[in-house]
């Protein structure tokens, strides 16, 4: 995550700003933002659905949710978006100061836009008109082809009661490993609350879209016009066929193959070949 909370804000103050009631310790301080995967205390999170057992931290959730501290909401995701925007607008949640680290052996086109706070490793090549946003990390001996955008805000909105759309601010980073090749005209979005991670040896063709929080395992191949929705997890050595699309939070295990034009709506087991709309198993690994 590339944001930090720079002043104390309590559960009671947060609830009051949102016009919501709370249960638990009103004096508990919000120290950072996270997803439910972060089990630490003093972390602001949201839970759209009932969870098993008591949740640590400060939860924006439905009435009856068991939590260390609960800000009660009828629409937790919307109110979490509102909470983040309040923290940003009030100057409480700000971008961290990250030092740029660009190795002298990296080759960067004059037309590329590299924001402050970017890390680029040894021997990496950044081609013409690439944009790399703050907080992005690119490893050694990787290539970012022309006109790609690394680390832009992802597409996340929640509809308010009046029908307008409220942006979900994405606070994470993009982490790209070693020996990765990102094709031309790719879009790789920052993580929402965690990071978007592309592991070593991954290769993407042209016109690939990788949404927020995706995790792409080593040596996977994403061919032309592959679209990965938010939170998709690819194992190692996965092959994604041209024009394939994958629904959010789907997991595709190691060495699986997704056929041309397929729409993946369910998890895919290791080694399986799937194809079609919706994608179905045509050969088991």
Which amino acids are annotated catalytic? 212
Give the pairing type, strands 165-167 and 157-159: antiparallel
Contact (CB, 8 A) for 202 and 220: yes
Short-list 78, 105, 54, 76, CA closest to 161: 78
Contact (CB, 8 A) for 60 and 79: yes
Neighbours of 7 (CB within 10 A): 11
- At 89, is the secondary structure helix, strand, or coil? helix
Q: Where are the beta strands (DSSP E) in 25-167?
A: 32-33, 43-47, 55-61, 67-72, 93-95, 101-102, 107-108, 113-114, 119-120, 125-126, 131-132, 137-138, 143-144, 149-152, 157-159, 165-167
Q: For residue 92, give every residue at least 6 positions away whose Cβ sits within 8 Å of its Cβ, in sequence order, or none.
A: 5, 6, 7, 9, 86
Contact (CB, 8 A) for 105 and 142: no
Short-list 10, 195, 192, 193, CA closest to 92: 10
Contact (CB, 8 A) for 258 and 245: no
């Amino acid at each position: 995550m590339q944001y930090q909370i720079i002043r104390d804000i309590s559960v009671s103050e947060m609830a009051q700003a949102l016009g919501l009631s709370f249960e638990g310790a009103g004096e508990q301080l919000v120290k950072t933002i996270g997803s439910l995967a972060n089990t630490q205390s003093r972390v602001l999170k949201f839970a759209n659905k009932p969870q098993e057992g008591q949740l640590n931290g400060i939860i924006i959730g439905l009435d009856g949710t068991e939590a260390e501290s609960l800000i009660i909401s009828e629409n937790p995701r919307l109110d979490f978006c509102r909470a983040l925007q309040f923290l940003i607008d009030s100057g409480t949640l700000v971008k961290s100061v990250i030092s740029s680290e660009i190795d002298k052996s990296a080759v960067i086109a004059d037309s590329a836009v590299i924001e402050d706070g970017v890390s680029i490793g040894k021997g990496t090549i950044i081609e013409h008109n690439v944009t790399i946003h703050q907080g992005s990390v690119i490893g050694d001996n990787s290539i970012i082809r022309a006109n790609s955008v690394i680390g832009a805000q992802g597409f996340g909105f929640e509809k308010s009661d009046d029908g307008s759309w409220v942006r979900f601010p994405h606070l994470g980073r993009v982490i790209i490993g070693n020996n990765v090749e990102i094709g031309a005209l790719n879009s790789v979005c920052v993580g929402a609350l965690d990071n978007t991670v592309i592991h070593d040896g991954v290769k993407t063709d042209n016109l690939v879209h990788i949404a927020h929080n995706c995790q792409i395992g080593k040596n996977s191949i994403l061919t032309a016009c592959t679209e990965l929705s938010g939170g998709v997890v690819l194992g190692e050595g996965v092959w994604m066929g041209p024009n394939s699309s994958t629904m959010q939070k789907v997991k595709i295990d190691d060495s699986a193959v997704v056929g041309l034009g397929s729409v993946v709506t369910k998890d895919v087991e290791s080694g399986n070949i799937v194809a079609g709309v919706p994608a179905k198993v045509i050969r088991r690994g």
